[in-house]
Structure 1
Amino acid sequence: MKKILLLSIALLIFMANSSFAANAPNSIAGITLGQNLSSIRSILDLDSARSPWQEEYIKRIEVKDLEGYNGGYIVVGDCNRKDIILRFKLKYADGSSDFFDKIYSMLEKRFGKPNDWRGNPFGTLKVWKWSLNDDLGNISLILQHFSGDDDSINTGNSIRLSRPEWIEQEQDCWEKANPVAKTNPIPAKMKGMSWFIPY
């Protein structure tokens, strides 16, 4: 009897994990994690491809405006998963708080409560993060709304999907293939306030 109970519990856990894995998202608006950028070449501004500062292992490419969206970008690998989509962010054309609430409700209904809150206490920045899993690993889903005055944060609503483990693997691959030379030592006479000014 005990064995049957344990087997039943194990089966329920397996079924829950299987449906959870099948429920984890990997696509939005025709952009899919794990696909080659050639699959969406027509919606990319390939001339915008750049490696972010100190992140030579990836390339960021701007997305042209899609129906219902106001641009965004994809991040592809540049080492082990060259030209494979590892992360992307899309900005919704509707930047209202009401639209954000509708999208949040739909995401919560499908994926459950988020794992993390990263907003601010003023309500100008609302960031919900889900950490989901499928057969290939972890998927990070982030929904964001910003209505403040900070120029470093895009106003309106945006959504992001990524595979953080793939990005880490890309960094490891790049560092092994491109060992960094020792950086210049700090000049011996750099003391006091001189540390804070250009030299």
Structure 2
Amino acid sequence: MKKVILLTLLISLLGTSSAFAAQNAPESVAGITIGNNLSTIRSLLESNSATSPWQEEYIKRIGLKDMEGYKGGYVVVGNCKRKDIILRMKLKYQDGSMEFFNKLYGKIEKRFGKPNDWRGNPFGTLKVWKWSLGDADGNVSLILQHFSGDDDSITKGNSIRLSRPSWIEQEMECWDIKHPPSQEKPIPAKMKGMKWFLPY
């Protein structure tokens, strides 16, 4: 009987611990909070920088000004179900050193535990750690990155990303419902086959 009571108590404590951890998912970096309206960070935004990425009209990406300790970045807001609500952010740290990256990693790991995923490259120039953390509102993705290579398409130095992937998916679904794709025009007969894929 005592074993059953102890086992029940242990399960209860583990459940409480998991519930506490689930509520501990991060929402903010440098005063920018996922779920808040864009108006809460108006002074931080690069004016007239809002754009929708190609084929992603359901969101808008807006540049951020430099802040103390940060060298710019951007926020992504909804353009349908959660219009002007912050869904994702990326901030670049002024300190791009490997030493600072390791310090950040140590503090994040201490707070949120081991990361769920490693996305670095075999050359050692790209180091990416990803945490997937749940809370009452769904999943939060936290990515810490360091890059020291020559690829201009990747942010050099250290950066951090925070997002709610499920909210972004919901924006896409909302947009698709409100803006059904128009019927594609047929390819002219003379452009059929491999000619359509080659320069001319």
TM-score (norm 2): 0.94
Note the 1:115-134 alignment, pairs <5 A.
115-134=116-135
- Which residue of structure 2 aligns with residue 74 of structure 1? 75
Give unpaired runs (5+ residues) of structure 2: none
d(CA) in 1 for partners of 2:124, 2:114? 19
- Which residue of structure 1 aligns with residue 87 of structure 2? 86
d(CA) in 2 for partners of 1:113, 1:120? 19
- Which residue of structure 2 aligns with residue 140 of structure 1? 141
Q: Structure 1 stretch 3-12 or stretch 94-103: which is displaced more?
A: 3-12
Q: How many Å apart are 1:118 and its aligned residue? A: 0.4
d(CA) in 1 for partners of 2:94, 2:80? 33
- Which residue of structure 2 aligns with residue 21 of structure 1? 22
d(CA) in 1 for partners of 2:49, 2:33? 20
- Which residue of structure 2 aligns with residue 186 of structure 1? 187
- Which residue of structure 1 aligns with residue 57 of structure 2? 56
- Do the aligned partners of residues 7 and 95 (structure 1) sit closer, same or farther apart at CA in structure 2, a change above 3 Å counting? same
- Do the aligned partners of residues 191 and 38 (structure 1) sit closer, same or farther apart at CA in structure 2, a change above 3 Å counting? same
Residue type of the alignment partner of 1:197: P
d(CA) in 1 for partners of 2:47, 2:185? 35
- Which residue of structure 2 aligns with residue 36 of structure 1? 37
Match of 1:195 among 190, 194, 197: 197
d(CA) in 2 for partners of 1:157, 1:195? 38
Q: How many Å apart are 1:7 and its aligned residue? A: 2.9
Please state whether the residue corresponding to 2:46 is helix, strand or coil.
strand
Residue type of the alignment partner of 1:101: N
Q: How many Å apart are 1:36 and its aligned residue? A: 0.3
Q: How many Å apart are 1:13 and its aligned residue? A: 2.8
1:106 aligns with 2:107: yes
Q: How many Å apart are 1:193 and its aligned residue? A: 4.8
Q: How many residues align?
A: 198
- Do the aligned partners of residues 52 and 194 (structure 1) sit closer, same or farther apart at CA in structure 2, a change above 3 Å counting? closer
d(CA) in 1 for partners of 2:10, 2:188? 64
TM-score (norm 1): 0.94
The CA RMSD over aligned residues, in Å, is: 1.4
User: Percent sequence identity over matched residues?
Assistant: 66
Q: How many Å apart are 1:73 and its aligned residue? A: 0.2
Please state whether the residue corresponding to 1:45 is helix, strand or coil.
coil
d(CA) in 2 for partners of 1:21, 1:155? 32
Give unpaired runs (5+ residues) of structure 1: none
d(CA) in 1 for partners of 2:38, 2:14? 36
List per-residue Cα deviations over 1:94-127 (Å, max 9, x = no partner).
0111111110111111111100000001110000
Please state whether the residue corresponding to 1:56 is helix, strand or coil.
coil
List per-residue Cα deviations over 1:140-199 (Å, max 9, x = no partner).
00000000011111111000000000000011001101111022233444233552225x
- Do the aligned partners of residues 125 and 3 (structure 1) sit closer, same or farther apart at CA in structure 2, a change above 3 Å counting? same
d(CA) in 1 for partners of 2:194, 2:174? 39
